[in-house]
């Protein structure tokens, strides 16, 4: 390429940039996606990997799956098929997933509801889409009792009282004032056995009771183990 040709090329690029257009240098690379990859290993059956976006569908078709517990740098948590519903109690209405709040770990025993505490938190599930199962980003949980002073305004009446009851998790901001409880997790009221069986908690202090802030888990295969 001679000097005149080079100068012309530089001038053309400068003109294009000046017009607000972009000059394609290479084909845009697909974004990377984190994926839980199922292996044939007995000791390490699932590993967290990164794949290109254009290969995601092929991986999913072979049984790989997207991480369900994002937000903590631990692949045994991220790739667990059981789902952490909440880890920070009423500190936020979100799931509160962080290394500082999550105590459950791969292989940990999960404790079933109902929790036999007569002075419990009033832990109530609102099945907002009425499908009989926990729906991420749609359903909500609050507490409506105040055994340990955590929610001094709570009203234990089986309804959500906005501004009084304390929200455990309501990611979609779907709770409505006056909404009736669909399932009291601690004593089993209003819910059937199948609905209640999916909800479990990691009894971090080993006292056999659900305590506010302990990890609340959706046990997807109902085996009583976080995996």
Q: What's the rounded mean pLDDT across residues 176-190?
A: 95
Asked whether residue 226 falls in the same domain as residue 172, the answer is yes
Q: How do residues 101-140 score in pLDDT, each as one tens digit?
A: 999 999 999 999 998 776 788 999 999 999 999 998 999 9
**Same domain assignment for residues 133 and 47:** no
**How many of the other CB atoms lie within 10 Å of CB of 154?**
20
Tell me, yes or no, whether 146 and 225 share the same domain.
Answer: yes
Task: State pTM to two decimals.
Answer: 0.80
- Same-domain check for residues 38 and 143: no
35-90 per-position pLDDT tens digit: 999 888 877 788 899 999 899 999 999 889 999 887 788 888 999 989 999 999 99
> Which residues are 216's β-sheet partners?
86, 201
Q: What is the largest CA-CA distance in the chain?
A: 89
Is 66 within the bounds of a domain?
Answer: yes
Do 60 and 159 have their domain in common? no
Report how far residue 52's alpha carbon sits from residue 34's, in angstroms, rounded to the nearest whole number.
9
Answer yes or no: do 95 and 150 share one domain. Answer: yes
- In terms of domains, do 36 and 138 share one? no
Residue at a domain's end among 46, 78, 110 = 78
Tokens linked to 65:
């799956």
Q: Which two tokens stand for residue 56?
A: 């995601």
The structural domain count of the chain equals 2
The verdict on 59 and 120 lying in the same domain is no
Q: Is residue 51 part of a domain?
A: yes
SS3 114: coil
In a domain, 19, yes or no: no
Q: 181 and 127: one domain?
A: yes
- 123-126 and 183-184: which strand pairing? antiparallel
**Residue 200 half-sphere exposure, CB side, CA atoms within 13 Å?**
24
Q: Which residue has the tokens 């009221």?
A: 189
With a cut of 80, say whether residue 226 has pLDDT above it: yes
Looking at the fold, whether 203 and 177 belong to one and the same domain comes out as yes
User: Could you tell me if 139 and 164 lie in one domain?
Assistant: yes
What is the span of the domain harbouring residue 96?
83-227
Given a cut of 50, is residue 32 above it in pLDDT? yes
Taken as a whole, the chain contains a residue count of 227
In a domain, 23, yes or no: no
């Amino acid at each position: 390429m001679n000097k005149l040709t080079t100068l012309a090329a530089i001038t053309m690029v400068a003109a294009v940039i000046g017009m607000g257009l972009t000059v394609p240098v290479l084909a845009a690379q697909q974004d990377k996606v984190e994926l839980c990859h199922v292996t044939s290993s007995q000791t390490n059956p699932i590993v967290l990997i990164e794949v290109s976006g254009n290969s995601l569908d092929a991986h999913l078709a072979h049984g790989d799956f997207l991480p369900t517990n994002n937000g903590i740098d631990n692949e045994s948590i991220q790739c667990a098929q059981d789902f952490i519903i909440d880890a920070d109690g009423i500190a936020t209405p979100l799931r509160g997933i962080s290394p500082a709040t999550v105590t459950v770990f791969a292989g940990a025993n999960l404790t079933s509801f109902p929790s036999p505490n007569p002075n419990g938190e009033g832990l109530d599930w609102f099945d907002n889409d009425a499908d009989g199962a926990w729906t991420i980003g749609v359903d909500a949980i609050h507490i409506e009792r105040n055994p340990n002073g955590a929610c001094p305004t709570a009203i234990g009446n089986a309804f959500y009282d906005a501004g009084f009851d304390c929200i455990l998790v309501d990611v979609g901001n779907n709770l409505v004032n006056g909404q009736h409880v669909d399932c009291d997790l601690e004593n089993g009221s209003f819910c059937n056995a199948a609905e209640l069986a999916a909800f479990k908690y990691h009894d971090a202090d080993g006292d056999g009771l659900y305590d506010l802030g302990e990890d609340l888990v959706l046990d997807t295969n109902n085996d009583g183990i976080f995996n």
